[in-house]
Amino acid sequence: MLQTSNYSLVLSLQFLLLSYDLFVNSFSELLRKAPVIQLVLFIIQDIAILFNIIIIFLMFFNTFVFQAGLVNLLFHKFKGTIVLTAVYFALSISFHVWVMNLRWQNSNRFVWTDGLHTLFVFQRLAAVLYCYFYKRTAVRLGDPRFYQDSLWLRNEFTQVQRSSPQFLKDAMFCAQIVLCTCRCQCTATWLSPQNICGPSGPMSSGCVCVCVYLICCCGTKYKF
């Protein structure tokens, strides 16, 4: 789980990158007569968006939900942010390449064609939505419920499983073993209320959680 100090540092870095993105979108056109400086600003902006994508996925990887194998639950919760960030990244690169290609040789030339105008409008609209949804996702990932087993997590898992196609239900069924502590006596913790892996209580030492079998060190196989 992210410590409070680490989360604050990561959140501050994300907000800093978002602020830089907002700054470039607001004032980059004032530097159109200095194409080299504008190019550098655009490159840093694209790198900042890419860094934000990497950071948000690292935060996903750090959650208990992801480590339990419930990737579909995370995607169901944050698919809007994931898709919108990818679209904005693609629009930003396209706009930067297009405008710099037209403006590089002659910075005083009028370059605003209908196509570039359209791309500019879509890129700026996506920027507003990107800043809002990304910030909301970064704040929501600070919720302690994402980093521990809880009744809320079990209810969310059940709802997503009911609304998923059959092949995803099978995949999530294989992820129902959410914790297997390797020590002298290990216990499986289940998202489903029933214990479908043999008798309840301590089992043999050192469990290995597999889709089809729960195999303990003694060699006993508990088949689903």
Evaluate whether 76 touches 153 at the Cβ level (below 8 Å): no
Q: Per-domain residue ranges for the chain?
A: 4-147, 176-223
pLDDT in tens, 47-98: 999 999 999 999 988 888 788 777 777 888 889 999 999 999 999 999 999 9
Residues 45 and 18: their CA atoms lie apart, in Å, by 9
Q: What is the pLDDT of residue 204?
A: 36
Q: pLDDT tens, position by position, for the chain (224 residues)?
A: 556 568 889 999 999 999 999 999 999 888 888 889 999 999 999 999 999 999 999 998 888 878 877 777 788 888 999 999 999 999 999 999 999 998 887 777 777 888 999 999 999 999 999 999 999 999 988 887 777 776 766 776 676 666 655 444 444 444 444 333 333 333 444 333 333 343 334 333 333 333 333 333 333 333 33
Q: What is the pLDDT of residue 210?
A: 34
Residues 83 and 10: their CA atoms lie apart, in Å, by 21
